[in-house]
């Protein structure tokens, strides 16, 4: 498996790390899996080169290519992955996204599976402003086309992402939801809480945390005891500063808590303490946070974008709003914060649905079936020597 995996045990940075750290141990427990090896590229921030995570699972922390990845098509990363694959002799290589990691996975010389975790070419196109960014967006789109063409099996995590790229896939297709760790299910049934909302995710413009803060200002006037917790990494310091400045301008610093990147234990604690979980993104595929909140018996308030409406049933397991509609978001947050019984009812229904869709055992079984399908596929294999000759032309 190639993709994001926690650098430190129980310190999860982003949705894909949450998925891989939940899925790998479950796959290792499956009798059909003899051994699972994870390749986690890092850029000087790993504290070890190797970690064993059970009798059948291991993680190699490999120094990744930091310059000219797109221009060279991650050539150095591919060489390192191929070297490790020659040693471990996998039946299948699983790329945990369709960007650079998926590209490496499909070029290892083995049958490959890739999971669609978001649509990076769409995100890149949305954020491109300069000529350089538009050129990079074009390169990203070509890479994703190549990944989807080469993969023996492509796993979609929502109908939305399957519809966006389905026509580009040449191999097999299957739909498997992302798994949620049992510890989140153990939080249900939810107990009554204070009027507290939780946002957890990477603080970027795509997540529209600024719009969430604006809406919360309206909510706080209606529900004076309301609190908002903002958790997650802050890779864009300028955007984080903009959000903090806005909080100060609105006089909300006393009722909004920035807790930054948290480990799984703290995240579960924050979910348990929240009356509802909120996302106000401009674009999403199938947010991990929504599945975790549903597993924990918490209602979700979220933008009606991407694959979110497939996860949140409006009025049954949570509430949906149009992306960017701050007034509607404020009304939805006020309604839930003012009605504890409604929150508990929707949370219980969400938990029931999550048991069927997001349990890790079910996801692991379906993933193993995808591996079997890929293993029976006969892709055209390009050797390292052939690829070097192509690049030397």
pLDDT in tens, 150-196: 999 999 999 999 999 989 999 999 999 999 999 999 999 999 999 99
* 211: its two tokens: 């719009």
| Residue 383 clears pLDDT 50, i.e. is over it | no
- Within a domain: 2: no
User: Residues 138-143: contacts with CB within 8 Å, 24+ apart?
Assistant: 139/70, 139/71, 140/70, 140/99, 143/70, 143/73, 143/99, 143/100, 143/103
Do 27 and 84 have their domain in common? Answer: yes
Both 364 and 332 in a single domain? no
Greatest Cα pair distance in the chain: 68
pLDDT digits (tens, 9 = 90+) for 30-57: 999 999 999 999 999 999 999 999 999 9
168 with 228, same domain: the answer is: no
What pLDDT shows up at residue 388?
42
Q: Give 50's strand partners.
A: 60
In a domain, 1, yes or no: no
Helix (H) / strand (E) containing 155: strand 153-156
Query: Do residues 77 and 99 both lie within one domain?
Result: yes
Judged against a pLDDT cut of 70, whether residue 389 lies above it is answered with no
CATH of the domain at 144: 3.40.50.2000
Same-domain check for residues 222 and 302: yes
Q: With respect to residue 7, please indicate whether it lies within any of the assigned structural domains.
A: no
Q: Is residue 318 part of a domain?
A: yes
Average confidence (pLDDT) over 131-141? 82
* 60, 153: one domain: yes
Do 82 and 200 lie in a common domain?
A: no
14 pLDDT above the threshold of 90:
no
Mean pLDDT of 83-88: 95
Domain span including residue 304:
182-357
**Residue 24, in any domain of the structure:** yes
CA distance 261 to 247: 19
pLDDT above 90 for 386: no
Looking at the chain, the whole-number percentage of residues with pLDDT higher than 90 is 82
Instruction: Report whether pLDDT(382) > 60.
Output: no
Per-residue model confidence as pLDDT tens digits over 312-350: 999 999 999 999 999 999 999 999 999 999 999 999 999
Would you state the structure tokens that stand for residue 309, as one six-digit string? Answer: 């409406």
Cα 272 to the center of its chain, rounded Å = 21
Q: Are residues 270 and 353 in the same domain?
A: yes
**257 forms bridges with which residues in the sheet?**
229
Kindly state whether residues 199 and 261 are assigned to the same domain: yes
- What is the mean predicted confidence (pLDDT) over 355-365? 93
What is the average pLDDT value for the chain, to the nearest integer?
A: 92
Q: Is residue 8 part of a domain?
A: no
Predicted pLDDT at 126: 65
Averaged pLDDT, 363-380: 86
Residues facing residue 156 across a β-bridge: 175
Does 35 share its domain with 152?
Answer: yes
């Amino acid at each position: 498996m190639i993709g994001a995996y926690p650098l430190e045990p129980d310190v999860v940075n982003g949705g894909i790390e949450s998925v891989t750290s939940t899925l790998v141990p479950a796959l290792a427990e499956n009798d059909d899996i003899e051994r699972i090896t994870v390749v986690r590229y890092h850029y000087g921030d790993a504290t070890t080169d190797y970690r064993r995570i059970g009798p059948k699972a291991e993680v190699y922390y490999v120094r990744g290519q930091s310059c000219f990845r797109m221009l060279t098509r991650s050539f150095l990363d591919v060489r390192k992955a191929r070297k490790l694959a020659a040693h471990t002799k996998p039946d299948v290589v699983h790329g945990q996204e369709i960007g650079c990691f998926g590209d490496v996975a499909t070029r290892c010389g083995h049958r490959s599976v890739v999971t669609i975790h978001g649509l990076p070419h769409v995100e890149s196109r949305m954020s491109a402003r300069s000529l350089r960014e538009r050129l990079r967006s074009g390169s990203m789109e070509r890479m994703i086309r190549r990944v989807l063409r080469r993969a023996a099996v492509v796993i979609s995590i929502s109908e939305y992402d399957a519809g966006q790229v389905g026509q580009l896939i040449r191999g097999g297709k299957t739909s498997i939801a992302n798994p949620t760790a049992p510890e989140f299910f153990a939080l249900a049934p939810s107990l009554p809480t204070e009027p507290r909302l939780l946002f957890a995710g990477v603080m970027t413009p795509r997540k529209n945390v600024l719009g969430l803060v604006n809406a919360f200002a309206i909510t706080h006037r209606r529900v004076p005891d309301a609190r908002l917790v903002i958790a997650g990494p802050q890779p864009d310091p300028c955007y984080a500063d903009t959000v903090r400045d806005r909080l100060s301008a609105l006089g909300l610093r006393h009722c909004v808590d920035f807790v930054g990147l948290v480990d799984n234990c703290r995240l579960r604690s924050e979910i348990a303490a929240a009356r509802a979980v909120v996302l106000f993104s401009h674009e999403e595929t199938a947010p991990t946070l929504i599945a975790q909140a549903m597993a924990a018996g918490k209602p979700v308030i979220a933008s009606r974008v991407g694959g979110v409406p497939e996860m949140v049933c409006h009025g049954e397991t949570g509430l949906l709003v149009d992306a960017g509609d701050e007034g509607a978001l404020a009304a939805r947050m006020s309604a839930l914060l003012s009605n504890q019984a409604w929150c508990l009812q929707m949370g219980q229904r969400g938990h029931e649905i999550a048991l069927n869709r997001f349990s890790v055992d079910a996801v692991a079984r379906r993933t193993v079936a995808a591996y079997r399908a890929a293993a029976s596929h006969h892709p055209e294999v390009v050797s390292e020597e052939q690829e070097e000759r192509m690049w030397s032309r």
